Structures are given as C-alpha cells and as structure tokens.
Structure 1
Amino acid sequence: MSNAINQMIASELNVRNEQITAAVTLLDDGNTVPFIARYRKEVTGGLDDTQLRNLESRLGYLRELDDRRQVILKSITEQGKLTPELEAEITGADSKTRLEDLYLPYKPKRRTKGQIAIEAGLAPLADTLWQQPSQEPEATAAGYVDADKGVGDTKAALDGARAILMERFAEDAALLDKVRRHLQSNAELTSRLVDGKEQEGAKFKDYFEYNEPLKNIPSHRALALFRGRNEGFLQLSLNADPQQEEGVRGSYCEIMIADHYGVTLGSQPADTWRKQVISWAWRIKILMHMETELMSALREKAEDGAMQVFADNLKDLLMAAPAGPRITLALDPGLRTGCKVAVVDQTGKLLDTATIYPHQPQRQVAQSEATVLALITKHNVNLIAIGNGTASRETDSFVTNLLKDNNLKVQSVMVSEAGASVYSASELAANEFPNLDVSLRGAVSIGRRLQDPLAELVKIDPKSIGVGQYQHDVSQSMLAKRLDAVVEDCVNAVGVDVNTASPALLTRVAGLNTTIAQNIVSYRDENGRFDARTTLKKVARLGPKAFEQCAGFLRIMNGKNPLDSSAVHPESYAVVKAIAASNDKPVDAIIGNSDFLRGLKPAEYTDEKFGLPTVTDIISELDKPGRDPRPEFKTATFAEGVNEVKDLIPGMVLEGVITNVTNFGAFVDVGVHQDGLVHISALSDKFVSDPREVVKAGDIVKVKVMEVDLQRKRIGMSMRLNDEPGQEKPARKPQGQRQQPREQRQPRGNSNRSHQGQSNNSAMGGAFAAAFANAKKK
C-alpha cells in the first residue's frame, strides 16, 4: 500500500514518484524537513521545505486512512460479508469520507428500526413494494401481519418496510457520493438570528438574515458563523435547493434518489408509498447526515485557511529585518506605573535597568530625561526601541524631543510588544532573569526583538504573538503543530550562532530538542565558547544523528575552521577542500572570493556522493558565507501630532506598518494604538484575490484614511491614494467575479470580527415537488 500512497502524493504535488519515495524514506529514517530540504537535494530531486511539509502532512493522513481501511476490512471479513467487489471499493477509497460511506452498512450499531423490521421478516415486503409498484401496499402488507413478531397491523408492516428502505438508501455509498457532490456545488448555508438574541448578538448582525453558496464561503466568514452559533446567537442550516421556487416542498435530491435506483414514479398503486419512502429517506436520514458532514467539512476547511493565514503572518514577522548587533535601550511605555527601561548589549545581554515617569500623573520629565541620557552615555547606546502599547506615542514624543534637544544621533524605533508580557511571566524568563521584576523583563524582550526578531520571538508561544485570524476558533493542537513547523523552518533558514543562542532558539534547530539545547548552553557555560562544530559532539546526548541534522544550521563565528561560520555542512567540507586544492589556494582564500567562485563550473567537482545541486549550493554559500536571508532593516515614520484615533481625519495620507494580513484585507498600524483596515478591494487598483499578493506583515506602506468610527474604534483605509473618502471605488475584477462585501474590524485585541456575505439566487426553472406529483419522466 505504501507505493500506492507515494504515487498518490506524487500526483498531488506534481512531482515524480521517485522523489516522494526518497523523501518518505528519509522522513521515516528520522531526518528533519529542514535538513532534507537543504542537504539532500540529490536524493529528493530538489523538493523544498514547503513541498516536504505538504508531503509530511498528506503522508500522515493517508497512513491513517490505510490503518482505518485495514480495521474496516477485518471487521467486514469477521462478519462474513466481504465480497471481492466490496474489497476492491474499500481498497480504492481515497478519502476517509468515502471509506466510512462504504463501511456504513456493516458498521456495528445499536438495533435500528430497520434491523428490527428485518428481524420481523419485513424485508420481502420492502423489496416487493419497491420493485413491483403494481402491488397495492395495504393488501400486500396484510400478508406480513404477525403479532408474535411485533407487527400488529398493516400500518406497522408498511412502517417497518419503509424503515428498511430508508436505512438502505442512507447507507448506499454510491448514492451518498452523488448527493454530496450535488450539495457541494449547489447548496447554500443559511444563518438566522435566534429569537430574542438581537441585542446580545449585535456583533453578528450581518448574519441575522444571511445566505451564501457553501462553495463560496471564505474561511473568515465561515468561522464567524460557527462562532455565532456556538455562542447561541445564530441558527445555521443547509438549504439544499436555494434556487427552488417559493412554495415547492420537495427537493431535487429526491429526484436524484429516484434516478439512482431507476425508479419512475407515476400513478401505480405503490407509487405514493414509494414517493413517501424517498421523501422520508431524504429529509430524515440523508439530509441530516449531509448537513452535519458538510458543515464539519466547511469548518475543517475554514480552520485550515485560518491556520495558513496565521502561519504566513508568523513567517513574515519571524523573517523581519533585524536591526543587528547594536547596543539598544528599550522602553516599555506606561502612564501611572511609569516606563520601564532596559539596556542590552550587542548580543542581547542585559546591562542596566531603570524606571522613569515622564507622563501624567507624575510628569517627571526632567528626571526622566536625565536618567535616559545617563544610560545612553554610560553604555554608548545607538538604538532605542519603544514598545507600541499604552502611552507609546507619548513616549515616542518624549524620546524624539530628548534626542533633538541634546543633538544625539541615536535612532528610535517603534516595536510591536505583542507577546512580551507572556514572555515576561514565563518560566523561561524567570530562569533567565530570576531577580528581575516582571515588567522590566518585558523591556528586555522589546529591545532584543528589535535587534533580532527571530531570536526573541521563538521564546514566546506563537499563538500569543497575535497575528492570526480567528485563532481561538480553530483546533489548538493543529494550530500549534502548524506554527511550530513555521518557526522551525525560519530558524533553520537563518541559522544560529551556537555561542550566543538561547536554549529556546537552539531548541528550534533541526535535530535538537529542549534537553540537548539546554545541554549545549550548559557545556558553553562550563567550558567557554565553542571553537569548532566538531566540539558539539562532546555535548551530552548530542549523538551522531542529532549532529548530522543540526551541524549545518549552527554557526561558529571566528572559530578554528572558517567553514564553521557558513551553511556548508561538515559532511561536505571535503568538496571545498577539493575545490581549493585543485586551484592551488587555501580554503580561507576562496571564501568570499566572488570573482574566483563565479568562474567555477560546479559539474567539475561532483562525485558519487555529492551531486550538482549540493556543489552548486556550496559554491553559492562560499560566495556569501553565513548570509542572512532576511531583508534590510527599515523603519516607518509616524506622523507627528497623530497619536490617537480622534486625531485622524478622512483624507490624511500616513505612513504605517502592516501588522496582520487576513483573507479580507490587511491591518495597518499608523501609531494611534488601533490598527486600521485596508479592505482587499482597496489594496490595489487591480483585482486582488489574495492580500498577500500585495502586502505582508512588517511591510511599510502609505495609506489614506477613508473613514473613522470613534465609537467603535474602527478605521477604514485605502492604499489607493487617489481614492476619496465617501466615494467607493470598486477594484477591477475578472468577468463574473462578485465583489464580496467589506469586512469590519473590532478594536485591537478583540478577535470577534463581524463579516457580511450575500448570495445571488436565480431560478433553475424547475418545481421539484411537481415532478413527483405528476409522475417523473425518465
């Protein structure tokens, strides 16, 4: 079965079967995704980390599917009901839904009405009336009345026969597949207000009278709907016939059932009874089953979409430009409790702390200026980080004035403090700063995350960073797994200085875990800095496999071997030595020698172990050893005098930072303690299907203020600077594309966002019940 799984994944990823087979073997042997993506390109044919993550996820699903398949085959075999045809269908099932459909008739269950009827001998009655409509139901049923078997009269006999057929239809895998496909393409999700909940559920008012085709509902709207239902404000249901005329009671799915069994309903004696069987089977059995299943599938898809939004935003934040190793003074702003100050050196080591009170109510401006100036002078500070929370703009103005009045060439930057308080109160922070006040730990974190966002943010649970979309409405275990993979890929893409990295950062390196990471730090503390990658082998519990996985991602700066500071894996050092030797140069002479390296032909240095992809990567790395893939450090400049939402005026053009990107637009911080929303339709003059095509978290952009709602603290913005407030200008869209309604934003920190959608119904021109009443023509 494993080969069939590999072939299926290869087809889905549009790669060769050999690539998938090789990658699966590597994963099963305990190799990590970052290691395989970077150092086993020959083996996998160059599969990247995204493809490998998708492969890993799909492989897990298909293996679970296969395990379930074996359980089902064993169960049906033990029942003595497994036929060659059924076995072939079960073996060929490509989804858990299809597999469970096939198993449904054989799944052990409590005695049902249909089973009881079969035990009472009513199966022949059901078959006769269904297959021979010329039979008169009452007369035929009279022959099956048997009080000893619980069939007291003809009504009981007909009810039992109907129950048998209803259950048979509801367990017909082929029929269920047809109905499911129809509903996926045509059904609508309907939302209505729960009686008496209008005021309590006001935040969901856009969904009090809402219909939208199931296939069109985006993830953020689906999660909003489910949240409204879970909180008791909305009632959700599936409308199987949204294009049906008013007053028609039957469903097109009833016609599908009749068609499936080749039944023609006319005026024969049993046709009224048969129509009732079909109608009841649809409404009582199949519709309820499908509604539950399709809503569950919608939620699963929506959760996956929301988790992907979070993952993409998290990656952008982790890979944001670092300010670099500069002595930094960090300010965690506050009013009544004062501003917490911390100074960290180039490596993030804490040098000094203080608390100042430059704002109301104390208003100790002179004393605060003196304290900050003294710290800047004492530690030769050249960078100031200011947290973007309460009193951030006041603190920014305080720092700006101080630097201007004293003619200091020190750069100040506003930094997101999302998650800083989580770190401050964590066990990790307590171990790192056992004698430091919690609030001062937050200032340290703010300073460090400016120097190196990746190194600091890995200390915080990714879910606490707050760049998700309905993150509390999705599976927390699946979200954690997805985000952990993002963090791991980012850390290994950048690389880690083993002599300065924290245990939290080392834990995210391929092949390492919490224990080994702590052992590395302990070894470093006891023996001094590592001077070679090979020394890592002396660390407790860091065995050959762990070394193979992690060595290429750990950097030794200024060590014994110049290659140890690069991404060249120790297993490939021989290739570098061969290149140097064949050109009569020492190894250190070719590192960074662009003119020489660009003249090399990689194919000349390949062998049985190291192919062209690896040699090409090695030469590229030698050209720019240890290069950081993150962008150049830039900052946004907030407008002076614009500190609060009330300072905003429609028509203003401001510079800001993208803080979050969702399916319906992007949120921008312009320095007023409340992010504004640029709806997807206002991101560009061109049609945008995915906001990430235009922006990503951390981007510096110019926006125009379009509307300001002080009461609800909502800010509407546009990146189309020619737009004028009050004049909607829809983005151009492809032919037939319906513009979705504008989403709304709740105040920062509140993930309860309300969204609006609408459906576009058109009559199909068929009255389904009439087709049944007047005898359906085949």
Structure 2
Amino acid sequence: MNIISTLAGELSATAAQITAAVEMLDDGATVPFIARYRKEATGGLDDTQLRHLEERLTYLRELEARKETVLKSIEEQGKLSDGLRAQIEACDNKTALEDLYLPYKPKRRTKAQIAREHGLQPLADVLLNEQPQDVEAAAAPFTNENVPDTKAALDGARAILMEQFAEDAELIGRLREKLWNEAEIHAQVIAGAEEKGEKFKDYFDHREAVRAMPSHRALAVLRGRNEEILHIALKYQPDETPITEQSAYEKIIAAHFHLSDGHKWLRDTVRLTWRAKIFLSLELEALGRLKEQADTDAITVFARNLKDLLLAAPAGRLTTLGLDPGYRNGVKCAVVDDTGKLLDTVIVYLHQENAMLATLGRLIKQHHVKLIAIGNGTASRETDKIAAELVKTLPEMKLHKIVVSEAGASIYSASELAAKEFPDLDVSLRGAVSIARRLQDPLAELVKIDPKSIGVGQYQHDVNQSQLAKSLDAVVEDCVNAVGVDVNTASAPLLARISGLNSTLAQNIVAYRDENGAFDSRKKLLKVPRLGEKTFEQAAGFLRINGGKEALDASAVHPEAYPVVAKMLADQGISAAELIGNREKIKQIKPADYTTEQFGLPTILDILAELEKPGRDPRGEFQTATFAEGVNEIKDLQVGMILEGVVSNVANFGAFVDIGVHQDGLVHISALSNKFVQDPREVVKAGDVVKVKVLEVDAARKRIALTMRLDDEPETVKRSGRPSENSATPRHTGRNERTPRNPREKQPQNSAMADAFAKLKR
C-alpha cells in the first residue's frame, strides 16, 4: 500500500488506477496494451505515465526489499528500537536508508571498534558530553596494557567520535544536500596531457556549480577524467581560504553535536572527520549523482530523438533504388519492390559517369523505380548529382530522389539478421538495401538495427548501458505498437516488437506464413506454434490483416470488441464495409448506447475513431529538404546564406541540422526562435525540414553556426555572445562504423557538443 500511495502521488492518479495498472503489469500485460485497450481500468493513463510507473514500481519494490533486509540485520544485532524502525520504514529513497543503516552495517574491524574493545568508549562520551579543556587529564584514567599512554587513549577516543560523527544519518543528509547545492566542480588538465587531450581544452581549467552542470558538459568532463586527461574535484570553499579556518561544513558538524567553539581538541576532531572522512565520501557520492543525472538527461534526449526518427513519415510503398555512395569501392546500388523485396543489385563508379547513368537508367526502367534513396555519407553529394541527372533525363518515370541518413546501415549489413536474409549478397550491397527500405518505411527498417547505432544520441557510450538499452527498447516498442504492422508483410524483427510477442514467436509467425500462405484472419494467428490465448490478447490489436475475411482485422479495433461493433451494425442495419470509413453513419451512433461494464466510454470512442479512419497511420506526411545547388562542402558555405536542411539531432542546448555539406551545423537554443525556448523540442524534432541562416563557418575545426531566426545578422550575434562563436559537431553518419578504429580514436557523436558550447557560460 505504501508503494501504491507513493505512485499515486507521483502520477497524480488515484490508488485504484495505480492498483489496476500494477496488477496488469504483474500479470504480464505490456505497456502498449494497457495504454490502448485498458483505459477504463487505469483511468486513461498513457504510455509515458505507465513507463514511469513501471520504472518506479521496480525501484520502490527494491527499496522495500532492502528495508526488510536492513531491519532484519539490525534486529539480529539487538539494536532495533521502535523509533529506528519507524525511521527506516519512512525512508523514500535508498540513500536515506543506507545512511540510517551505516552505524549498524557489518564492516571490517575499524580503529573505532578496536578502541571500544580497549575500553575507550566512556572516554569518548566524556570528551563529547562534558568537553573538558584538559583532555590529557581526562584520558589518564583510561590507560591500560592495550592503551600505553594518554596520547593513545585520545587517539582511540578520536577514532570513536569520528566514526560517530560520520555515521549520523541526519547530519550526513544535511551535509550532502548543502555540498550538492553549493559546491563547484573543478576540472584541470593533468600536466603533460595537454596535447593528447586537445579535444578537452575547454575544460583544462573549468569551474562550474555541480548541481547546475548540464549533461553534455558533465559527461565531457567525466570522460576527460576517465581518459586521464583531466583531474576533477569538488571545491566547497575558496582556494585562498587558510587551511586552519573552520569551514561552514565543519561548523555544522560542531553545532549538531553542541561542541564548544573554543575546544581545540574537539575542533581538530571535527576538521579531521570532515576533511578525511565525510567530504571524501560525499565527493564520490556527488560525482556519482552528477553522472546519474547526466545519464538520465542524455538517455532522455536520445529516446526522444529516436522516437521522432522512428515515427518519421514513410515515403510510401513504391519501388525504390537505394544508393550507398562511395569513391574507391564505388556506389553500391539495390532495387527493392514496393514490399521491400530485393530485385536487383549493381556497383557503379562515380568516375565513370556515363556508364553509371546508363546502368542506373536501365535499372530504373526495367523495375519501374519511383524513388531514389541516397545515403548521406562520403560522396553523397556527387551521387546526388547523378540522381538529379537521372530525374531530369527520365521525366516519364516521374522519379523522386531523397537523401536519407545511413547511420547504422553498416551495422545491419554485417549483422546475423542480414546474413540470414541475404546469405549470398555481398556485405556492402546489403547496406544499399537498408537505405532503400528506410526511405519506404523508416520504422520497419530501423527496428532491425541496435538503437544505439542509429546516431541520434549524445555520449551514448558513456552513459549507463543497461539503462540506455532499456529506455530505447521501450521507445521502439511504443513506436511499433502505435503504428501497428501488417502481419502478412512484416519482418520477424518488426513482429518481435509487437506487444506480447518475442523473437521466437515472431519467427514462428513468419515460418507459418511462409508455409501456409498469408493470414486471412486474426483468429488464424492462434494456429501459430506457441502463440496462446494470452499472447493473442496482447498482440492482436496491433497486428493488421488487409483484405482478409473480417474487415475489422485491418483496423486497430481489438477482436474482443468485435461484438460491440456487431451490435452497432445490427442497430444501423448495415454491413461492416458500409460503416467503415462512413463518417455520416458513424456520427449517427451514440457512444453512450454501447458502453458496458467491460467497455467504457473511452474504448467506445476509440472504436468509433478507428471505424472512421481504419488502420490510420499516426505518422505525418513525408517531406524532404532541397539542398542548395553548388553547396557541397563546408568550404562552399558563406556567412549569411539561407539554406534548407533536415534536423538530424536535437540536444538540450540546440539542434543539429544537415545542410548537405557532410557536416551538421548547430542552431543554438537561443537561435531557434524569436521567443524564449525552454526545450528545443518545443520548436523542432529529428527529421524536420527547416530553413536556416549561416552565422559562422570554421572550416579548420569543422564547425558551422546556424540560426533559424532568419533576420539575425552575424555581426550582431557575435557581439551579443550568442552562437556565432560556437558551432557544430561532426555529422552523424554511419560511416565511421564502416572503418572501425581503436575505441579511443573513435570520437563520440557528441564529443564536439560540449567543445562547441563550453564558451557560452562565459
């Protein structure tokens, strides 16, 4: 009940809503299924709320289990009081719980424990409670065979008091928050590492409030430390403060235990406790907390960008020619039909332009190609020119050419999945197939690639990998189920992302389809090996069957609700074919007439909306940018140019835009709009086509500063300190994946983000 009430408060929901959601999750229901088909039970909690609930439920259950362990341990020691039990049971986070447990936690034999064994606890109590000025005289009665003199007695008493001070949960909690709120993180270059760490030069002498440090700078500094370029430390007082001066933190410790300001021995004890014990521990905690928050922010940015990319509008089911550009190894070409099936492949060379035009022209005519997808890696502009010539010389084919991101294409090419799908096809040609398919349907193709390889994250190799994988998998699952899939054309990797299904069941569906032909009804899915009633309930609503026996199978109406639709049809005296898509007829239906205990108003409204537009795709309309003629490389850019581009990545501090020069430009958050922007995603998202003006170009450092405020003047921006002096990151392509390097040489996609904007804070 504690967990239920906590979650209800966090989600601003009722206990009944949370209880229902928790019970369904525990019963194996998926988030997409609960969000879509169990709105009555959860009161309409959406997938975002349910994901948060799922994550927090796991944390709170772990916390409760830890509380039980802690209580049992303290009780076995005979030290569990009613007050301590109440404190432990009231803990709402793991850190506070561990603070309370620290004095009772079994540990290696400490100096304080040894001192207690030697009978020095009473001396420590006297020194703390009575605070005698003559500590030598107070210690004299406590000498014995194990404590040869008063110095040894006082050292033992000090060890006891230091441990006592450092294990006071209330005190540590107060010091922890004060340090977090007030301390600065200080990064300095390690002597002799200047040349090796050139990319971290903006952090060679960097100070910033630890609590306000944005994720990209935090991760950059922490990476610099891990690569032995930077030394980082927390500073809690000015450097020029005399070492003998009592810090604010030491004063808090002294006040907590009511220690006299004039008692030198106790004051020294407090100083040693803070500087040699408490601060070192809290510094590690603060850096860990900084890393955890930076990870969460970076993963959130990655997840949002991934969602935008996966839900990008598909170009449509048209025969497509995929071109994977290259110089020495040629342009790899693959033609796929409107279902994504490979029809033909060839390799052509840019330096043999006439032969290339003839070969591609033949392929286009032979297979009736309608779309040309061009990977955005090396030689993409040159390849794009050839494609433009084909569009011009073959007007009767009504061709359209589009440059698409090839990030992750090489990962797919070398994957076990690609090898199984195309065992006899050269690895390099598989990439061209992927490029063609991702234009037809980005979601269907990108699910085959590890989300971390898609190229829309920041510092993805530095963040918590299990947390990242879990978050991205949830995004993919939500996106696939939001769109739904055609069970008769979907690949096994796409089917595996459907609610209730897994890789084994997905393979079983494909195998059954190959052996028995297309499914003509959702019910036939129950004939698939190992696909039982429970799985069918979770998956059926997200699987589409076009042209089957049951018209509703092509919609998102769940089979369990078919009787409701049958009653509507009977009341209207029409067939399903006459009702589906007929807005006038649907408007005549009163939702309240069909609500039952099982199907409430939210479900009935969903059913009517689906009947009006069955199988509707929630993705927007396809759009593409037109890159400027004659602007092929960074050297072709001129300050003041207005260009069209595609948003390739969105970070907390701005957006990166592909303007067709193999180097993404950066629009800082302050240059996204004439209005104040709290979050860049309020204005843009990955895949958006935008117009930008060039503010600054640094060809040597491969940086481009852009603005979406087209009336901005470069000189004005430079004087105001906005993004003219800061620029971009290396473009996000999959090209580096094609030529693997030493891990230290391979730069993170966001390594230049912090570098580009570190000056802004100044």
Q: TM-score per shorter chain, which class? A: over 0.9
Change beyond 3 A, Cα 1:242–1:323: farther
What is the aligned counterpart of 1:472 among 450, 461, 475? 461
Are 2:407 and 1:418 aligned?
yes
Structure 2 partner of 1:765: none
What is the aligned counterpart of 1:176 among 172, 176, 186? 172
Contact 1:532 1:561 in 2 (8 A): yes
Contact 1:531 1:559 in 2 (8 A): yes
In the TM superposition, what is the alpha-carbon distance from 1:727 to its structure 2 partner?
2.8
Q: What is the rounded CA distance, in whole Å, between the counterparts of 2:719 and 2:521 in structure 1? A: 60
Q: What is the rounded CA distance, in whole Å, between the counterparts of 2:203 and 2:517 in structure 1? A: 62
Structure 2 partner of 1:12: 10
Structure 1 partner of 2:184: 188
Are 2:82 and 1:94 aligned?
no
Q: What is the rounded CA distance, in whole Å, between the counterparts of 1:706 and 1:50 in structure 2? A: 38
Contact 1:658 1:699 in 2 (8 A): yes
Amino acid at match of 2:592: A
Three-state SS of the structure 2 residue aligned to 1:42 is helix
Are 2:296 and 1:304 aligned?
yes
Q: What is the rounded CA distance, in whole Å, between the counterparts of 2:493 and 2:436 in structure 1? A: 17
Q: How does 1:508-587 map to 2 (within 5 A)?
A: 508-587=497-576
Are 2:632 and 1:648 aligned?
no
Structure 2 partner of 1:365: 353
Change beyond 3 A, Cα 1:228–1:615: same
In the TM superposition, what is the alpha-carbon distance from 1:21 to its structure 2 partner?
0.8
Contact 1:210 1:757 in 2 (8 A): no
Q: What is the rounded CA distance, in whole Å, between the counterparts of 1:646 and 1:657 in structure 2? A: 20
Q: What is the rounded CA distance, in whole Å, between the counterparts of 1:469 and 1:317 in structure 2? A: 15
Structure 1: gaps spanning 5 or more residues: 734-738, 762-778
Are 2:477 and 1:488 aligned?
yes
Q: What is the rounded CA distance, in whole Å, between the counterparts of 1:34 and 1:143 in structure 2? A: 72
Change beyond 3 A, Cα 1:208–1:746: farther
Three-state SS of the structure 2 residue aligned to 1:36 is helix
TM-score, with length taken from structure 1: 0.93
Which stretch shows the higher mean deviation, 644-653 or 723-732?
723-732
Q: What is the rounded CA distance, in whole Å, between the counterparts of 1:287 and 1:741 in structure 2? A: 38
In the TM superposition, what is the alpha-carbon distance from 1:238 to its structure 2 partner?
1.2
Structure 1 partner of 2:345: 353
Higher relative contact order (CA 8 A, sep 6+): 1
Are 2:601 and 1:597 aligned?
no
Q: What is the rounded CA distance, in whole Å, between the counterparts of 1:242 and 1:534 in structure 2? A: 72
Q: Deviations over 1:74-97 (max 9, x none)?
A: 111111111111111111111010
In the TM superposition, what is the alpha-carbon distance from 1:730 to its structure 2 partner?
8.8
Change beyond 3 A, Cα 1:745–1:366: closer
Are 2:126 and 1:128 aligned?
yes
Are 2:625 and 1:636 aligned?
yes
Change beyond 3 A, Cα 1:746–1:338: closer
In the TM superposition, what is the alpha-carbon distance from 1:306 to its structure 2 partner?
0.5
Q: Equivalent pairs: percent with the same residue?
A: 61
Structure 1 partner of 2:228: 232
Change beyond 3 A, Cα 1:659–1:731: farther
Q: What is the rounded CA distance, in whole Å, between the counterparts of 1:320 and 1:529 in structure 2? A: 28
Q: How does 1:657-696 map to 2 (within 5 A)?
A: 657-696=646-685
Q: What is the rounded CA distance, in whole Å, between the counterparts of 2:724 and 2:53 in structure 1? A: 33
In the TM superposition, what is the alpha-carbon distance from 1:157 to its structure 2 partner?
0.9
Which stretch shows the higher mean deviation, 722-731 or 627-636?
722-731
Structure 1 partner of 2:743: none
Contact 1:651 1:725 in 2 (8 A): yes
Three-state SS of the structure 2 residue aligned to 1:191 is strand
Change beyond 3 A, Cα 1:759–1:617: closer
In the TM superposition, what is the alpha-carbon distance from 1:120 to its structure 2 partner?
0.8
Q: Deviations over 1:370-399 (max 9, x none)?
A: 111111111111111111111110011011
Change beyond 3 A, Cα 1:237–1:634: same
Q: What is the rounded CA distance, in whole Å, between the counterparts of 2:444 and 2:471 in structure 1? A: 19
Change beyond 3 A, Cα 1:438–1:630: same
Three-state SS of the structure 1 residue aligned to 2:234 is strand
What is the aligned counterpart of 2:367 among 379, 386, 395? 379
Are 2:320 and 1:324 aligned?
no
Contact 1:723 1:729 in 2 (8 A): no
Amino acid at match of 1:682: A
Structure 1 partner of 2:102: 104
Structure 1 partner of 2:280: 288
Three-state SS of the structure 2 residue aligned to 1:728 is helix
In the TM superposition, what is the alpha-carbon distance from 1:571 to its structure 2 partner?
0.2
Structure 2 partner of 1:208: 204
Structure 1 partner of 2:380: 392
In the TM superposition, what is the alpha-carbon distance from 1:672 to its structure 2 partner?
0.8
Q: What is the rounded CA distance, in whole Å, between the counterparts of 2:238 and 2:445 in structure 1? A: 52
Contact 1:706 1:724 in 2 (8 A): yes
Which stretch shows the higher mean deviation, 38-47 or 326-335?
326-335
Three-state SS of the structure 2 residue aligned to 1:529 is coil
Are 2:437 and 1:448 aligned?
yes
Three-state SS of the structure 2 residue aligned to 1:674 is coil
Contact 1:254 1:278 in 2 (8 A): yes
Are 2:246 and 1:250 aligned?
yes
Change beyond 3 A, Cα 1:276–1:640: same
Are 2:326 and 1:334 aligned?
yes
Q: What is the rounded CA distance, in whole Å, between the counterparts of 1:681 and 1:249 in structure 2? A: 43
TM-score, with length taken from structure 2: 0.95
The RMSD of aligned alpha carbons is 1.9
In the TM superposition, what is the alpha-carbon distance from 1:324 to its structure 2 partner?
0.9
Q: What is the rounded CA distance, in whole Å, between the counterparts of 1:432 and 1:217 in structure 2? A: 46
Contact 1:212 1:757 in 2 (8 A): no
Change beyond 3 A, Cα 1:523–1:692: same
Amino acid at match of 1:79: Q
Three-state SS of the structure 2 residue aligned to 1:199 is coil
Three-state SS of the structure 2 residue aligned to 1:460 is coil
Contact 2:667 2:708 in 1 (8 A): yes
Are 2:744 and 1:717 aligned?
no
Three-state SS of the structure 2 residue aligned to 1:280 is helix
Q: What is the rounded CA distance, in whole Å, between the counterparts of 1:255 and 1:387 in structure 2? A: 63
Structure 1 partner of 2:267: 275
Which stretch shows the higher mean deviation, 751-760 or 387-396?
751-760
Are 2:597 and 1:608 aligned?
yes
In the TM superposition, what is the alpha-carbon distance from 1:250 to its structure 2 partner?
2.5
Q: Deviations over 1:692-737 (max 9, x none)?
A: 111110000011111111111111111111112233279999xxxx
Which stretch shows the higher mean deviation, 112-121 or 526-535?
112-121
Amino acid at match of 1:353: T
Three-state SS of the structure 2 residue aligned to 1:727 is helix
Q: What is the rounded CA distance, in whole Å, between the counterparts of 1:105 and 1:740 in structure 2? A: 55
Contact 1:418 1:466 in 2 (8 A): yes
Q: What is the rounded CA distance, in whole Å, between the counterparts of 1:219 and 1:598 in structure 2? A: 50
Change beyond 3 A, Cα 1:732–1:27: farther
Q: What is the rounded CA distance, in whole Å, between the counterparts of 2:33 and 2:206 in structure 1? A: 48
Contact 1:713 1:747 in 2 (8 A): no
In the TM superposition, what is the alpha-carbon distance from 1:407 to its structure 2 partner?
2.8
Amino acid at match of 1:694: V
Q: How does 1:396-407 map to 2 (within 5 A)?
A: 396-407=384-395
Three-state SS of the structure 1 residue aligned to 2:717 is coil
Structure 2 partner of 1:66: 64
Contact 1:684 1:731 in 2 (8 A): no
In the TM superposition, what is the alpha-carbon distance from 1:136 to its structure 2 partner?
1.1
Contact 2:592 2:601 in 1 (8 A): yes
What is the aligned counterpart of 2:305 among 310, 313, 330? 313
